[in-house]
Chains A and B, each alone.
Chain A
Amino acid sequence: MAGRFELLSEQGLRLDGRRPHELRHIKCKMGVFEQPDGSAYMEQGNTKVLAAVYGPHQAKGKKTETNDVIINCQYSQATFSTSERKNRPRGDRKSQEFKMYLQQALSAAIKSELYPRSQIDVYVEVLQADGANYAVSLNAATLALIDAGICLNEFVVACTASLSKSNIPLTDISNIEEVSGGPKLTVAALPTAEKIAFLEMSERFHIDHLETVIETAMAGCREIRDILEAAVKEHLIHIGSAADWGRVC
């Protein structure tokens, strides 16, 4: 790991001035669009993601043969989302990979027994990429699913974590920290049940540190869950104020 850029300054601050356990600023909004059944917009630092959900509807094509719910995802990244222009918004290996991972994590959260022979489409569009793209996409997808009224076991949220040279775990990795070559761990979790729906890591960790880094990511997940939950409640108060549901939450 020689020559690796130091992620943590001597004062214990990260490159963007955060402390090791701090998340980036999160802003979100549900019900951005009219046409989809559910939609959400999420901003985590400079990473900005739009998600739309269509369904549940009758499964199309040859997918109708199975009895289970089909969760169809698409991950695409706007061509202007990165500092270098991307040539295509989707179809590259990275977006195929993210699409599969989204499917995996969402399948763990959706109450599939309620939607036999149906299909749920989840489309994610990254408008600005600044690290933790998968995690923010999944969080936005969760909000969009809730906006669409699809039953979930619980919030499925994702968070990234890394490890500084001095073995201090870092939460919510930004793009600059990603490219400076530290290890990266992404966890998608069902925080209340303390279940992990999806885990991915790159670079290398010593097995002794893995536990603490996972715990850091889980703590991040719990924090994000609280933020999302507050956002959902506020949205409900907002849309339900006419019918006086707001006070129920």
Chain B
Amino acid sequence: MAYVALSEAEKTFILHGVEEDYRCDGRSRRDYRPMELETGLVSNASGSARLRLANTDILVGVKTEIDVPHQLTPEFGKLEFFVDCSANATPEFEGRGGSDLAQELILSLKNAYESPFAFDYRSLCLIPGQQCWKLYIDILILECGGNLYDAVSLAAKAALFNTKLPRVTATLLDAGITDLIISDNPYDCTRIGIETVPLLVTVCKIGDFCLVDPSAEEEACSTVSMVVAVSQRNNEAFLSGTHMTGGGSMHRDTMLNCLQLGLSIGDYLDKLLVKMLKQEQERVGPKRPKIVGFLK
């Protein structure tokens, strides 16, 4: 993670703020920083989203490809995550400097999406055992201002929502060989169901208290965090994966509290995101806002 220079006094100040439930930027322990989200801004990708959470900037592009399903799961499509920590974020990421962080992020996303309840892999299957969609979710980290896990998962979910898969029709040729016809019409497409797609919530322990959405400075004060993957099903929040990051340890009761906090926050965040994305989708024609991207 990007290095933040903090003195002991500053760390104590942050710690006291967390104890008082009044953080440096005026938030309480359960508050998020303001977010900006835009979808569909990379024209070379099937789906894309850019999320800016205060100073954290994430760009996600989804690319699609037709592949053969795995032998053990013939009815499942495939997902592949790739995280690139751009040197734009910090000079430490130059060359291979960001690969450790990238691996960590890829692993936690993979874990969260692993369960077929968390992501409907069946919807990506074209012909069981023969052909399926493979989605490459390419995540680009452009600026690190803390709370990468949450930002990355939010952006990934938004990009999946934005992804358009061209409609595929199969025709049966002789000798049982099937031939796929992919529609050329850019409007003849299907969407991916994102209701159950998990979000990651980082619950950060500072002193004796847990908080969400830590800024880069707050992350530097914390020894241990809990990343909670929350997946929504039938309007109920489920846990689809969790892991601890950082070198410290926490008591079992604290851990349970963290999980509870993460779950309730994730539930709320998810509902908000889905509501916002649906709103944006409904704005078509002249009402559709122009894509601003980085020009804002």
A interface list, Cβ under 8 A from B: 27, 29, 32-36, 39, 41, 43, 46, 48, 50-52, 54, 72, 74, 76, 78-83, 85, 89-90, 121, 123, 125, 127-130
As a 0/1 sequence over residues 22 to 36 of chain B, the CB contacts with chain A under 8 angstroms (1 = contact) are 000000000000000
Q: List 16 A-B contacts (CB under 8 A).
A: A33-B143, A34-B143, A48-B294, A50-B86, A50-B88, A50-B142, A76-B86, A76-B87, A78-B61, A79-B84, A79-B136, A81-B44, A85-B63, A85-B138, A125-B140, A130-B44
Are B87 and A123 in contact (CB-based, < 8 A)?
Answer: yes
Are A35 and B89 in contact (CB-based, < 8 A)?
Answer: yes
Give the distance in Å from the alpha carbon of A78 to the alpha carbon of B57 in the complex.
14
- The 10 closest A-B CB pairs, nearest first, are A80-B61, A41-B294, A52-B88, A123-B87, A80-B45, A79-B138, A85-B63, A80-B138, A89-B84, A125-B86
Are A74 and B140 in contact (CB-based, < 8 A)?
Answer: no
Give the distance in Å from the alpha carbon of A51 to the alpha carbon of B88 in the complex.
7
Are B142 and A125 in contact (CB-based, < 8 A)?
Answer: yes
For B65, the closest partner residue in chain A by CB is: A85
Q: Which residues of B contact A85 (CB under 8 A)?
A: 63, 65, 136, 138
Instruction: Give residues 50-91 of B contacting A (CB, 8 Å).
Output: 55, 57, 59, 61-63, 65, 82, 84, 86-91
B interface list, Cβ under 8 A from A: 2, 42-45, 48, 55, 57, 59, 61-63, 65, 82, 84, 86-91, 94-95, 136, 138, 140, 142-145, 293-296
Give the distance in Å from the alpha carbon of A132 to the alpha carbon of B84 in the complex.
23
CB distance from A21 to the nearest CB of B (A): 26
Are A79 and B82 in contact (CB-based, < 8 A)?
Answer: yes
Q: Which residues of B contact A76 (CB under 8 A)?
A: 84, 86-87
Are A127 and B42 in contact (CB-based, < 8 A)?
Answer: yes
Q: Which residues of A contact B55 (CB under 8 A)?
A: 34-35
For B144, the closest partner residue in chain A by CB is: A35
CB distance from B151 to the nearest CB of A (A): 15
Q: Which residues of B contact A72 (CB under 8 A)?
A: 94
Give the distance in Å from the alpha carbon of A78 to the alpha carbon of B293 in the complex.
15
Q: Which residues of A contact B145 (CB under 8 A)?
A: 34-35
Are B295 and A29 in contact (CB-based, < 8 A)?
Answer: yes
Q: Which residues of B contact A48 (CB under 8 A)?
A: 293-294
Q: Which residues of A contact B140 (CB under 8 A)?
A: 78, 89, 125, 127
CB distance from B126 to the nearest CB of A (A): 19
Are A50 and B294 in contact (CB-based, < 8 A)?
Answer: yes
Contact of A83 among B44, B57, B82 (CB under 8 A): B44
Give the distance in Å from the alpha carbon of A81 to the alpha carbon of B86 in the complex.
14
For A82, the closest partner residue in chain B by CB is: B44
CB distance from A34 to the nearest CB of B (A): 5
Are B59 and A127 in contact (CB-based, < 8 A)?
Answer: yes
CB distance from A45 to the nearest CB of B (A): 11
Beyond the given A34-B143, A72-B94, A80-B138, please list 11 additional residue pairs across the A-B interface where CB-CB is below 8 A.
A29-B294, A29-B296, A36-B88, A41-B294, A41-B295, A48-B293, A50-B294, A74-B87, A82-B44, A85-B136, A123-B94
For A57, the closest partner residue in chain B by CB is: B91
For A89, the closest partner residue in chain B by CB is: B84
Are B88 and A33 in contact (CB-based, < 8 A)?
Answer: yes
Supposing A29-B294, A41-B295 touch, asked if A121 and B91 sit within 8 A by C-beta, the answer is yes
Are B42 and A123 in contact (CB-based, < 8 A)?
Answer: no
For B84, the closest partner residue in chain A by CB is: A89
CB distance from B14 to the nearest CB of A (A): 19
Are B91 and A54 in contact (CB-based, < 8 A)?
Answer: yes
Q: Which residues of A contact B95 (CB under 8 A)?
A: 74, 90
Are A128 and B42 in contact (CB-based, < 8 A)?
Answer: yes
For B88, the closest partner residue in chain A by CB is: A52
For A49, the closest partner residue in chain B by CB is: B294
CB distance from B42 to the nearest CB of A (A): 6
For A29, the closest partner residue in chain B by CB is: B295
